[in-house]
Amino acid sequence: MTLFRKPTSVKGTLLVLLLPAGIALMGLAWLVHGLLLDRMSREFVETRLKDEVAFLEHQIRDSGGKLDSLQTGDYFQEVFHHAFAIHAPSKTILSPDSWGPVLRSMIESGQDGTLRVQGLESAGAPEDILAYRKTFRLGETPIVVIVSEDLGALKRSQAELHAWTAIVSVLLILLLVAVIWFGINLSMRPVVELKATLKRLQDGEVSRIHVQAPEEFRPLVQQLNQLLDSLDQRLERSRDALANLSHSVKTPIAAVRQVLEDTSRPLPNELRLQMTARLNDIDKQLEAEMRRSRFAGPQVGKSAYPLKQARDLLWMLGRLYPEKSFELSSSLPEDVRWPIEEHDLNEIMGNLLDNAGKWSERCVELSLAQHSGTLHIGVIDDGPGVADAEIGKLGQRGLRLDEQTPGHGLGLAIVREIVERYGGTLHFTAAKKSGLCATIDIPTEISVANQ
């Protein structure tokens, strides 16, 4: 059985955490106040008692030890509001008389300093007394001076003050509850506005989230808007892909249907080959569009290990082209991750390496690097290369079945499209000796909105 269930709302969680903590801290402060008040009161009383003993000693020394010349009776009690005792071999003065038994016992104790007497059962005397006793000599005459105070009265005053402090603490706790409640509601107001905006978005009243969110919620709002942009762009790309696919396969299908529907003539081999070529064109177009539909583009939380994927691709292509050498050049750490979806990175490196492998003479080199906020991928082959006039056409948008350029080009349009979705660039240049060099640069700060 669960004794405590975590609140399901942020407001409930804050209240559960803040209110008990505030009450506990206020209670702790009240307890500490009581302890400090008791300690400070006692230290203050001790200081006063010492000062009054010093005053009495001064008066006795001024009188030359003649206790009869001192104003006794209740004079010192009225001045100091304390009980006192002055004892000399010739005379003892006690005030008030009701404290006589307690004061005589202190005189007889022979112990100087601060004294605490509790639990005495003497008529007229308090049960809890704090006193200060001092013995000094005036000539050859020993004199004892004691000043004492009723701690019971002091404690009653402290208890009254502590009770008022408790009342004030309760009022402060109630005020704290009100402030916390108001602060939580004020802090959660942007969440309420965000909830209302999401409802309007669901109802189709708005297309994006526009709220003045606090700093903590701005990344969330930004990610939601970027997700909406990504969904819109993917929907637009899907529509364009379907339109392109429909336009591309419509003519070949119509031609094949026309041939098949014409029953008046046989199918010669030349016509069969033409139909097969048309069907191959349709198959290639379908395959190309299906490959494009699998591209994820930049997504939050998606990343890949470039070195691991590069080694896997080089091993596979080495088996596919056993007469050629595939080499990897990189100074990246083994555990480095790039913010690129794994399938997209495989398509980028796989297409470039496959083209290079087909047209290279002996060697293909793949280089991976990361510097100045940019991810770098380079593929160099030692093949025949591409004419300068044709290099600019490699990977052009809109090239479908005829986008292959002699020597290079198969899948390069797909590579360029993926790279552009990540906000990167694809460049082709002639290699130093012979062959083609393909260079890709992708910024590390990739926005989902680039898709």
Q: Among 115, 113, 60, which Cα is nearest to 91's?
A: 60
Is 443 within 8 Å of 423 (Cβ atoms)?
yes
pLDDT score, position 293? 56
pLDDT score, position 71? 56
- Tell me the pLDDT tens digit for each residue of 364-392: 999 999 988 899 999 999 888 887 777 77
pLDDT score, position 441? 93
Amino acid identity of residue 252, one-letter, is: P
Read off the pTM. 0.46
- What are the tokens at 427? 């460049």
Structure letter (DSSP) for residue 385: -
Homologous superfamily (CATH) of 306-450 is Histidine kinase-like ATPase, C-terminal domain (3.30.565.10)
pLDDT score, position 401? 34
Is 328 within 8 Å of 311 (Cβ atoms)?
yes
Q: Among 182, 187, 228, 176, which Cα is nearest to 207's?
A: 228
Estimate the crossing angle of helix 269-293 against helix 218-261, to 10 degrees. 170
Which residue numbers in the chain have pLDDT < 70? Answer: 1-8, 68-81, 119-125, 237, 239-251, 255, 258-259, 262, 265, 267, 271, 281, 284-302, 395-410, 446-451
Structure letter (DSSP) for residue 449: G
Alpha helical stretches, state H, 262-305 = 269-293
pLDDT score, position 403? 44
Is 220 within 8 Å of 213 (Cβ atoms)?
yes
pLDDT score, position 376? 94
Give the pairing type, strands 374-381 and 363-371. antiparallel
Domain ranges of the chain: 13-156, 218-293, 306-450
Is 425 within 8 Å of 419 (Cβ atoms)?
yes
